[in-house]
Structure 1
């Protein structure tokens, strides 16, 4: 069982002030685990295939992606926000939050990715999976692809792709922070913090992929 219940801190805008209240943290943890595995099993098994396969009903996957793009699973996602990074709930929350951030700030997200891609030497953009040229639409499509991969593909690959995406975003935020530092140190500081948060998410998602493969994801 996971022991790390720290709340992820990647919140580049004020729109992501998740507030989770519970008198019983243990119960909240159990509910987070149960809902995350139930959702994954339900969608992955929708065409008669079991967890870990690619037999999901495309119509159901479409529905889940559309719900995530709107506010359809906000209540469930809030249950996952405090889950540790070694749990399925924690991994799904990170994927969900990345998707919502891109939806909430498409221009800014595309700009950071573009800058990060220009400064990347070890992360090929194909690994992250974005279409060229980078645009708000292509970033939105990438986030949809990652989310679809969670439910209809190899979860480990989806998590690794999300990890690569976060590393590129971290590079973009760090590079922009360097550019802004002589002009606006406060803004540069916020960008540096954002880069650190994206890096933390990248590490967590990469670890999640490894745990999914070896069967130790809670």
Structure 2
């Protein structure tokens, strides 16, 4: 019988007690967020129902991105909940500024040809084409392979990050944020292929 090493538990910080006093247990909230994400991704895919795909696509429209943020924004990038948050955030951004996004994508597509092809945006990539592409990607949660969804979203973010890097109006921080999003989604895609995304 092997002896297990004893680790002293880490004392919770002030935020833990603030959440408890407000009636919300952070562990229960995270568990609920994870369970909801699992039901949405795995349940929607297993349903094979186009209506489910459309409801999932418009979840941020009907519930509000703020509501989704409250549930999933604190989730790690290597979790289903964290992936859903990043995907819905990406869609909300495209819909909020389709012309600006199209400009950034156009600026990056020549320098990131492989990512451009993986993203699957129609040529030329105008605002309507980008909205159609991001919707098609999110419909893939229910209709396709979730790893493909993550890789396409990652490729799209990578092209945009490349475009941002070449535009004088974009800060290094904005480039870094989009590149980090691309890398998180790509890493999650590989995790999904290895059946490790939960």
Matched with 2:14 is none
Structure 1 124/162 Cα, relative in aligned 2: closer, same or farther at 3 Å?
closer
Unaligned ranges ≥5, structure 2: 1-17
| TM-score when normalising by structure 2 | 0.82
Q: Deviations over 1:158-207 (max 9, x none)?
A: 1011111111010011110xxx2xxxxxx54xx32111011111111111
**Partner SS state of residue 205, structure 1:** helix
Unaligned ranges ≥5, structure 1: 1-20, 47-55, 181-186
Q: Which has the higher helix share?
A: 2
1:156 to 106, 124, 147: 147
* 2:113 equivalent to 1:107: no
Structure 1 77/71 Cα, relative in aligned 2: closer, same or farther at 3 Å?
farther
| TM-score when normalising by structure 1 | 0.75
- State how far apart, in whole Å, the 2-side matches of 1:73 and 1:212 are: 27
- State how far apart, in whole Å, the 1-side matches of 2:115 and 2:196 are: 29
Q: Which runs of 4+ in 1 moved over 6 A?
A: none
* 2:156 equivalent to 1:165: yes
- State how far apart, in whole Å, the 2-side matches of 1:198 and 1:173 are: 9
- State how far apart, in whole Å, the 1-side matches of 2:36 and 2:56 are: 14
Matched with 1:17 is none
Matched with 2:38 is 37
Q: Is the 8 A contact 1:22 1:28 kept in 2?
A: no
Q: Is the 8 A contact 1:103 1:140 kept in 2?
A: yes
Matched with 2:128 is 137
Aligned length: 176
Work out which of the two has the higher radius of gyration on C-alpha atoms and give 1 or 2: 2
Instruction: Kindly report the root-mean-square deviation, in angstroms, between the aligned alpha carbons of the 2 structures.
Output: 1.8
